[in-house]
Amino acid sequence: MTTLLEASSDVLFAGLTPQPPDVVLSLIKLFRDDPRPNKIDVGVGVYRDAQGRTPVFQAMKAAERRLLEIQETKAYLGPEGDFGFLERIQPIVFGDGAAASDLFSVQTPGGTGALRLAAELAQAGRPGARIWLGAPSWPIHSQIFAEAGLQIATFRQFDQASQTLCFDEMIGALRQASPGDVVLLHACCHNPSGADPDVGQWRELAGVIAGRGLVPLLDIAYQGLGDGLEPDAAGLRIVMEAVDNAMVAFSCDKNFGLYRERTGALFVRARRHHEAARTNVLKIARCAWSMPPDHGAAAVRVILEDPALTGLWREELDAQRRRLQEVREGLADADPRFEPFRNQRGLFSLLPIAPAQVDAMRRDHGVYMTGNGRINIAGLTAETIPAFAAAYAACVPN
Ligand code: PMP
């Protein structure tokens, strides 16, 4: 006989186990609740100006005002999103040479949406395909790829103690990879280490990737915040010139300051299977979010359609890039152990620090960072660097 208990709808959810909270999001709350006036937040991964604000770009404000005036409909656009946006960001990422050939693109909800779509495309093409991921990486990478059903293989990419890129280990791992394996690479401003391959190393990576028939998945979420828009795309373009098949996840969330507007794009090259890959991407997007959120991409398009707004955007982005470099110089001058940060790029570096010392910096000095010792360079200013360096010196003996 069926009892009421046996008929409970709980069976649907009874197998779930609670998931750990996102570490960065938990850190936001801890920081907010800390009453100490001189607390320092180097945890959350957003750009901050010297006043601690994450400003809306002036160029973006102007584009949004214009959009408000000229937009006549909010009718559906379709799963590709805004074609004008896609057309205008493509040359920023790929230039107009061979790196840009044979691509198709779709607008996505941020870089995260692009990464998930890329992972789902790989999974649709080859269920359980292997993806190679350097360690450490943005922690969400492995979660996205695992959710999509891919097999994750890792190699050591950065040594936190010596602050060096483990290039030989990267190349060694990729030489062991099999044709059709995917390789995730941060195109610039590596999160969390700030350590990117140099041009010669990109050439070597491109050679191994092409030679072994691997498919690069290039994640470009910080273009313009390293050495500038063009140099930050140099490695990506070297790889794109070498391969027949590739996926590129682009985010506008940092370099246009759009974060919560969720603006990005996936670019794919599938030279011998273009139509099949393109229509599968559209189908996956249609079933996931139907079409991407419009506002951020429409505003980026308005900026890029207008030379004056484009110029203003570039100036504002460049000012952010210069500020990051100033903080890097200030850190390197404050403690010789921070010297490697001078030559690293982007929003992040990884302190040589143990988890207990990360806790001590928070508990005893009000300095908030993620447990692995990642710091957001933009969380510091010329005024706070001395206190930050003193806290580090107190918690991490030389
Ligand atoms: N890739 C990397 C390496 C990132 O750090 C981030 C953002 N933290 C993303 C992708 C995703 O960016 P978005 O906010 O556009 O989804």
Tens digit of pLDDT for each residue in 186-201?
A: 999 999 999 999 999 9
Q: What is the mean pLDDT of the chain?
A: 96
Instruction: Read off the pLDDT band of 9 (50, 70, 90).
Output: very high
pLDDT above 70 for 140: yes
Coil/strand/helix, residue 335: coil
Q: Catalytic residue at 102? A: no
Q: Catalytic residue at 22? A: no
Q: Which residues on neighbouring strands pair with residue 216, listed in sequence order?
A: 183
| Ligand 1 proximity of 374 Cβ (cutoff 6 Å) | no
Residue 246 near residue 269, CB atoms below 8 Å: yes
Q: How far is CA 28 from CA 46, 50, 80, 111, 266, in A?
A: 12, 19, 34, 21, 29
Q: Catalytic residue at 138? A: yes
| Ligand 1 proximity of 264 Cβ (cutoff 6 Å) | yes
The pLDDT tens digits for 105-117 are: 999 999 999 999 9
| Ligand 1 proximity of 112 Cβ (cutoff 6 Å) | yes
Give the rounded percent of residues in the chain with a pLDDT score beyond 90.
95
| Ligand 1 proximity of 219 Cβ (cutoff 6 Å) | yes
Residue nearest to atom 4 of ligand 1 (CA): 221
**pLDDT for the residue numbered 398:** 86
Instruction: Read off the pLDDT band of 6 (50, 70, 90).
Output: low
Instruction: Read off the pLDDT band of 24 (50, 70, 90).
Output: confident
Domains identified in the chain and CATH numbers: 9-56+315-395 (3.90.1150.10), 59-307 (3.40.640.10)
Token pair 């890097």: residue? 328
Instruction: Read off the pLDDT band of 7 (50, 70, 90).
Output: confident
**pLDDT for the residue numbered 366:** 97
The pLDDT tens digits for 202-230 are: 999 999 999 999 999 999 999 999 999 99
**pLDDT for the residue numbered 23:** 82
**pLDDT for the residue numbered 25:** 83
| Ligand 1 proximity of 263 Cβ (cutoff 6 Å) | no
pTM strictly above 0.75: yes
**pLDDT for the residue numbered 3:** 54
**pLDDT for the residue numbered 21:** 86
Q: Catalytic residue at 254? A: yes
- What crossing angle do the helices spanning 385-395 and 307-334 adopt, rounded to 10°? 40
Distance 251 CA to ligand 1 centre (A): 7
pLDDT above 90 for 26: no
**Residue 114 CA, closest ligand 1 atom number:** 16
